[in-house]
Structure 1
Amino acid sequence: MDIVRIGKFIGALHRRFQTAMNREITLPDINGTNANFLLFISEHDRVTAKQITTELAINKGLVSREMTRLEKAGYTTRTPDDTDHRTTWVSITPQGLAACKTIRQVKQSLWDQVLEDTPEADIETVFTELETWSNRAKKFDQSK
Structure 2
Amino acid sequence: MDITKIGKFIGALHRRFQIAMNHELTLPEINASNANFLLFINEHDGVTAKQITTELAINKGLVSRELTRLEHASYITRTPDDSDRRITWIRITPKGKAACKTIRQLKQSLWDQVLGDVPANDVELVYTQLEAWSEQAKKFDQTK
Place the TM-score, normalised by the shorter chain, in its bin: over 0.9
- What amino acid is aligned across from residue 77 of structure 1 in structure 2? T
Paired residue for 2:91?
Answer: 91
Figure out how many residues of one structure are paired with residues of the other and give that number.
144
Counterpart of 1:78 in 2: which secondary structure? strand
The C-alpha deviation readout for 1:83-105, integer Å capped at 9, x for no partner, is 11100000000000000000000
Q: Which runs of 4+ in 1 moved over 2 A?
A: none
Paired residue for 2:34?
Answer: 34
Paired residue for 2:130?
Answer: 130
Counterparts of 1:68 and 1:45 in 2: how far apart (Å)? 17
Paired residue for 1:6?
Answer: 6
Q: State how 1:105-120 maps to structure 2 within 5 Å.
A: 105-120=105-120
Counterparts of 2:105 and 2:14 in 1: how far apart (Å)? 17
- What amino acid is aligned across from residue 133 of structure 2 in structure 1? W
Q: CA deviation at 1:70?
A: 0.1
Paired residue for 1:20?
Answer: 20
| Structure 2 residue ranges without an equivalent (≥5) | none
* TM value normalised by structure 2: 0.99
Paired residue for 2:75?
Answer: 75
Counterpart of 1:89 in 2: which secondary structure? strand
Counterparts of 2:130 and 2:137 in 1: how far apart (Å)? 10
The C-alpha deviation readout for 1:35-85, integer Å capped at 9, x for no partner, is 000000000121000000000000000000000000000000000001111
- Percent identity of equivalent pairs: 76
| Structure 1 residue ranges without an equivalent (≥5) | none
Paired residue for 2:44?
Answer: 44
Q: CA deviation at 1:117?
A: 1.2
Q: CA RMSD, aligned part only?
A: 0.5
Counterparts of 1:92 and 1:45 in 2: how far apart (Å)? 6
